[in-house]
Structure 1
Amino acid sequence: MTETSPEAQFAAFGAVEAVPTSNFQRVVARRLTQSWTQVPHVTHHDEVDVTALDAHRGTLTGDARISPLIFLVRALAKAMAQFPHFNASLSDDGKTLVLKKYCHIGIAVDGPLGLLVPVLRDADRKNVATLSAELAALSAQARDKGLPMSAMSGGCITITSLGGIGGTGFTPIINQPEVAILAVTPSRMQPVWDGTAFQPRLMMPLSLSYDHRVINGADAARFVRSIGQALAEPEKL
């Protein structure tokens, strides 16, 4: 160990252990740093009412009981059709905005190698049962370290969820060359004023980070509202 090593900076104060980072961790760190430094990030926070969605899921039984995340995928696909600038990529020189005519949605999955983002292809054309089965298969591959790079390419937008862990919101980093990423945290029952009285409503926190070169704040707010409107009518998803 030399005086210039990272360990030497801390070893003088007590015992330390030097653990090398993996190639995968270094690639992810490089990409996240690139996105954070090159893209002007803004994060919009909101809550959407998923009371009707929770009730609808309660009517499903057995294998048909679908995760709220899958309904969020369908709602997101619907919003992207309404707001095409969210399904786009900006050229390196900033002179061209490429609008995509397909809808592939990435889902961040926490696996043994770290955070992987398998892609659900043509999410706008598939029902929730099909998307649920596909995500289950991709997640299993990620946990078994068998997810190929092809399964993580071509995404249009990403969903990252802490719904099974906790939190009230966070500011995710955009997965370039995408222009937005949607974060979701656990839904909570809250009193919501309906004009005459407070009603118990199940509210889902959403945090949308977006590239401010492409998307303005008003459109980001409308986009999240559109997702909420779709989730309010789950039978149509």
Structure 2
Amino acid sequence: MIKEVKLPEVSENIEHGDVIKVLVSVGDEISIDQPLIELETDKALFEVPSTEEGVVKEISVKEGDVINIGSVILKVETNSKEIKEQTSDKKEQTADNYVNKESVEINNDKESKSSEKIELKKPENENAQNIKSKNISVTDTESELADNENVKASGAHDKILAPASPSVRRLARELGVEISSVSGSGKDGRISEDDVKSFVKASMNKSGSSTLTLSGKSLPDFSKWGEVRIEPMSKIRAVTAEAMSYSWTAPMVTQFDKADITLAEDFRKKYSEFVKSNGGNLTVTSMLVKICTEALKKFPQFNSSIDLNKKEIIYKNYFNVGIAVDTERGLLVPVVRNTDKKNILEISAELNVLAEKARSKKIMPDEMDGGNFTISNLGGIGGTAFTPIVYSPQVAILGVSRASKEAVYINDNFIPRIMLPLSLTYDHRIIDGADAARFLRWICEALENPMYLLL
């Protein structure tokens, strides 16, 4: 039997990606979860595993192709009934690699039918890695969504819904854009995320905004002065550049302070072996994740986002902390979720897993979504201070530089202490300087009393 292996939904906000490398050839015998291609999206570079087992008969993509969710990657021959039976359970379990949400809801604005709702329930064991997919494929969901996008909405006005995926509609809502006002550039007027972003930029330009864009100024011909080399920007680098340019439009201030981590370092050394035996590394970063979570509880304005269009402040009652990870492809920011419900041991182990996945191209886009606050630690490289840029729509980011021994004047004596430089950048539209100073000082004092982490 010939079966198609398609690109599954990897994240709510991802519709397509670039094929960087094809990892198999026609005639190869492949197994469940074997990597087939390297795919680069706006958020990550990762390997797409197979959901079938058999012999590759045809490869439908090549390096450089842009493929959409649901596109056929390759076709495999699975003639063996025995193989089919053995791999049936495995195929169900691979759904967790692609679907990182508890339910997929197909709604037609306010009207929905029970037949349009599909639930993918997680197992009772929270530590389990795999979930049952109920034999419902993500591509089936995409197809059903596409069928429902152009139907009439019931109600007083009977207007036609704009053809756009749920992720595009969500982006439009977050940016305060009426989706029906956006012209789609896709087939049959389908609206993409780029269409929404272009609409926002055009609206800002019309309103006299002075926001600079990356393409706003032509560069000189550098080859007049010597030899040059031109390389296209990777998707990750291009998206980072665009996001940082957008973030820079917010008025940002950086507050500096130092924490005496002498006791924290003793604490780290004392418990490092215990944490390591449980799969983690006890580091300043893992301690800061827990400390910053408590700080966000005490200073909720740092765990918020601002909506200028509606003149509203959105306070979040959950705690997800992003950790900037340096990779050969650029900066990635995996997110540790629900940090208020995890102890330092669990956080340390999860950080290990996320960092390794980011560096080995295993990180999925969903694992970098939903952060409320970010920590960027450059201490391993060096430096005494820096000014990190807030990642919008977050409103603050903590920068960590290299710790060093300093002579500190205590009780009429100079005593050697290990001092850690911290840099807090914040959005001044929502956070005042005095509150930022209190927030950062609270973090410093918590670091200086590490036994607090055990409470």
TM-score range, shorter chain: over 0.9
Q: Which amino acid aligns with 1:100?
A: K
Give 1:180's aligned residue: 396
Partner of 1:11: 223
Question: Could you list the runs of 4 or more consecutive aligned residues of structure 1 that deviate by over 4 angstroms after TM superposition?
Answer: none
Q: 2:266 is matched with which residue: 55, 59, 67? A: 55
Report what 2:313 is aligned to: 97
TM-score norm. by structure 2 comes to 0.49
1:190-237 CA distance string (max 9 Å, x none)? 111114111111111000000001101111111011001111221221
Q: CA deviation at 1:180?
A: 0.2
| DSSP-derived class of the 1:199 partner | strand
1:123 maps to what in 2? 339
| 1:162-201 to 2 correspondences below 5 Å | 162-201=378-417
Q: Which amino acid aligns with 1:59?
A: K
What is the distance in 1 between the residues matched to 2:266 and 2:362? 36
Task: Render the CA deviation track for 1:18-55: whole Å, top value 9, x for unaligned.
Answer: 11111221111011000002x10100011011111011
> Cα offset for 1:62?
2.1
Task: Extract unaligned runs of 5+ from structure 1.
Answer: none
Question: What is the distance in 2 between the residues matched to 1:25 and 1:58?
Answer: 37
Alpha-carbon displacement from aligned partner over 1:71-111 (angstroms, at most 9, x marks no partner): 11111111111111100000142611111111100000011
Offset of 1:114 from its aligned partner?
0.6
**What root-mean-square deviation, in Å, do the aligned CA atoms of Structure 1 and Structure 2 show?**
1.4
- The residue type paired with residue 439 of structure 2 is F
Pairs within 5 Å for 1:1-237: 9-37=221-249, 39-64=250-275, 66-93=282-309, 95-237=311-453
Of structures 1 and 2, the one scoring higher in RCO (CA 8 A, sep 6+) is 1
| C-alpha deviation, 1:112, in angstroms | 2.3
User: How far is 1:141 from its partner?
Assistant: 1.0
Q: Give 1:61 shift.
A: 4.4
Q: Distance in 1 between matches of 2:285 and 2:235?
A: 30
Summarize the Cα distance change of 1:125–1:20 in structure 2 as closer, same or farther, 3 Å threshold. Answer: same
Instruction: Report Cα offsets for 1:138-170 as digits up to 9, x if no partner.
Output: 111111112111111111100001011000111
8 A contact 1:113–1:145 mirrored in 2: no
Q: Which runs of 5+ in 2 are unaligned?
A: 1-217, 276-280
Separation (CA, whole Å) in 2 of partners of 1:68 and 1:219:
24
* Rg larger for: 2
Contact preservation (8 Å) 1:171, 1:209: yes
Counterpart of 1:207, as a letter, is S
Report the 3-state secondary structure (helix = DSSP H, G, I; strand = E; otherwise coil) of the residue aligned with 2:271: coil
Q: Match for 1:104: what amino acid?
A: N
Per the TM alignment, residue 63 of structure 1 is displaced from its structure 2 partner at its CA by: 4.6
- Seq. identity, %: 44
Distance 1:60 1:123 in 2: 20
Tell me the amino acid that sits aligned with residue 62 of structure 1: E
Q: 1:160-189, CA deviations, whole angstroms, 9 ceiling, x for partnerless residues?
A: 010110001111110111000000011111
CA contact (8 A) 2:272 2:282 kept: no
For residues 13 and 155 of structure 1, the distance between their equivalents in structure 2, rounded to whole angstroms, comes to: 44
Q: Is the 8 A contact 1:185 1:205 kept in 2?
A: yes
CA distance in 1, matches of 2:269, 2:231: 46
Alpha-carbon contact 1:112-1:145 (below 8 Å) kept: no
Q: How high is the TM-score relative to the length of structure 1?
A: 0.93
